[in-house]
């Protein structure tokens, strides 16, 4: 039986206590001073003064809590007929290793990383590895046209682009690398380097001095025993940038922060039927599991003021002038702008 009315009334009675209680499910490297500061930024800021790390909350805390041997990620692609699974310990090993790869290539706290990937486990590994460093990732729909990718590269100004040689859709293989090469040629702000996951369906040519093979870099890091620890960041610091479609003009970067995003996501996942908030699943379908999950969640919950949903901000200034997401991320890190966003999905 639905507990919606009970939960909604609980939030109405004392919104800050409600979200403070929800925040207790998150690991904080430093406790927050205030649940919601309505005088900070343009629309207020959540969990001000707190420090956390999204990758730690997704992986490390479960391994530390004795769940290392439990399944954390299931990859099941009906398109390629591939099934893989990772325990929390195995996934943590992959993430901290790829974080070391990124760190060795100059990625650090506050840097942007564009991820132009299909729906494969390495996509999640790249996202969490970026978050582990306190850096900011921006997912771009795999197979997007070169000019669309270029627009997002120009706006985000990433140090690194992580991509794959191809994506697989029903009845066809989409070669990503030629699209990435064309996008970089178009973009005014060139990334320093690209890391490419070579897939057996289509191998890509690498540009010497700019492109690196994912498998080779990871193998070198594992051989050297390289791992990267989590970097605590402000709860209000950006976690990721997600761009609007751009169908009505220039794509706008939506920035979501670490603290509010985690608290709202953890709370909402716990409200979904048959879904453990500690487990993740990547589907090989072009339909986003996040989209499907949201449909299962009682939509009425969204009447409530969410830590991330209420501070939604496109990359615009208070006077309406469009700002780049890179500029907005810098401002957000300096505690001058709110942050929020929405999830998306990708091909296999």
**Contact of 348 with 53, CB cutoff 8 Å:** no
Exposure string of 204-242, with b = 16+ CB inside 10 Å and e = fewer, is beeeeeebbbbeebbeebeeeebbbebbbbbbbbbbbbb
**Nearest-CA neighbor of 6 among 340, 324, 343, 304?**
304
- Would you say residue 280 lies in a domain? yes
pLDDT of 271 reads 65
> SS3 for 238?
strand
- Would you say residue 344 lies in a domain? no
**Nearest-CA neighbor of 312 among 339, 337, 334?**
339
- Would you say residue 342 lies in a domain? no
258-300 pLDDT, tens digit per residue, is 999 999 999 988 765 544 445 544 444 333 233 333 333 333 3
pLDDT of 325 reads 61
Question: Which CATH number does the domain housing residue 48 bear?
Answer: 3.40.50.12780
Considering the chain, what percentage of its residues have pLDDT values greater than 70? 77
- Region of poorest pLDDT, from 155-164, 198-207, 211-220, 334-343: 334-343
| pLDDT of 346 higher than 60 | no
Name the domain count of the chain. Answer: 1
- Residue 304, CA atoms < 13 Å, CB-side half-sphere: 25
- Would you say residue 348 lies in a domain? no
Tell me how many degrees the CA angle 160-166-171 measures, rounded to the nearest 5. Answer: 155
pLDDT of 330 reads 58
Average pLDDT of the chain, as a whole number? 83
- Would you say residue 343 lies in a domain? no
pLDDT of 247 reads 80
61-117 pLDDT, tens digit per residue, is 999 999 999 999 999 998 899 999 999 999 999 999 999 999 999 999 999 999 999
- Would you say residue 339 lies in a domain? no
């Amino acid at each position: 039986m639905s507990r919606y009315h009970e939960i909604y009334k609980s939030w109405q009675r004392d919104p800050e206590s409600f979200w403070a209680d929800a925040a207790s499910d998150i690991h904080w490297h430093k406790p927050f001073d205030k649940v919601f500061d309505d005088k900070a930024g343009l629309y207020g800021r959540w969990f001000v003064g707190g420090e956390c790390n999204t990758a730690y909350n997704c992986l490390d805390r479960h391994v530390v809590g004795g769940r290392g041997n439990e399944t954390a990620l299931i990859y099941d692609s009906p398109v390629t007929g591939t099934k893989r699974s990772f325990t929390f310990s195995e996934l943590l090993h992959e993430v901290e290793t790829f974080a070391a790869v990124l760190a060795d290539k100059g990625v650090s706290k506050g840097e942007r990383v564009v991820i132009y990937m299909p729906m494969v486990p390495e996509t999640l590994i790249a996202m969490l590895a970026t978050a582990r460093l306190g850096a900011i990732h921006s997912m771009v729909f795999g197979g997007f046209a070169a000019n669309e990718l270029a627009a997002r590269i120009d706006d985000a100004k990433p140090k690194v682009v992580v991509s794959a040689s191809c994506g697989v859709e029903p009845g066809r293989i989409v070669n990503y690398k030629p699209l990435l090469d064309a996008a970089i040629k178009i973009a005014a702000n060139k990334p320093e380097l690209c890391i490419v996951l070579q897939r057996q369906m289509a191998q890509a040519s690498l540009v010497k001095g700019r492109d690196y093979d994912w498998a080779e870099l990871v193998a070198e890091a594992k051989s050297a025993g390289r791992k990267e620890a989590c970097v605590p960041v402000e709860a209000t610091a950006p976690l990721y940038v997600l761009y609007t479609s751009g169908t009505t003009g220039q794509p706008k970067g939506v920035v979501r922060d670490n603290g509010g995003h985690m608290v709202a996501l953890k709370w909402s996942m716990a409200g979904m039927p048959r879904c453990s908030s500690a487990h993740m699943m990547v589907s090989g379908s072009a339909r986003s599991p996040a989209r499907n999950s949201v449909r299962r969640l009682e939509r009425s919950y969204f009447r409530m003021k969410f830590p991330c949903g209420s501070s939604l901000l496109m990359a615009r200034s208070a006077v309406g002038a469009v700002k780049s997401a890179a500029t907005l991320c810098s401002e957000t890190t300096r505690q001058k702008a709110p942050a929020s966003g929405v999830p998306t999905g990708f091909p296999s």
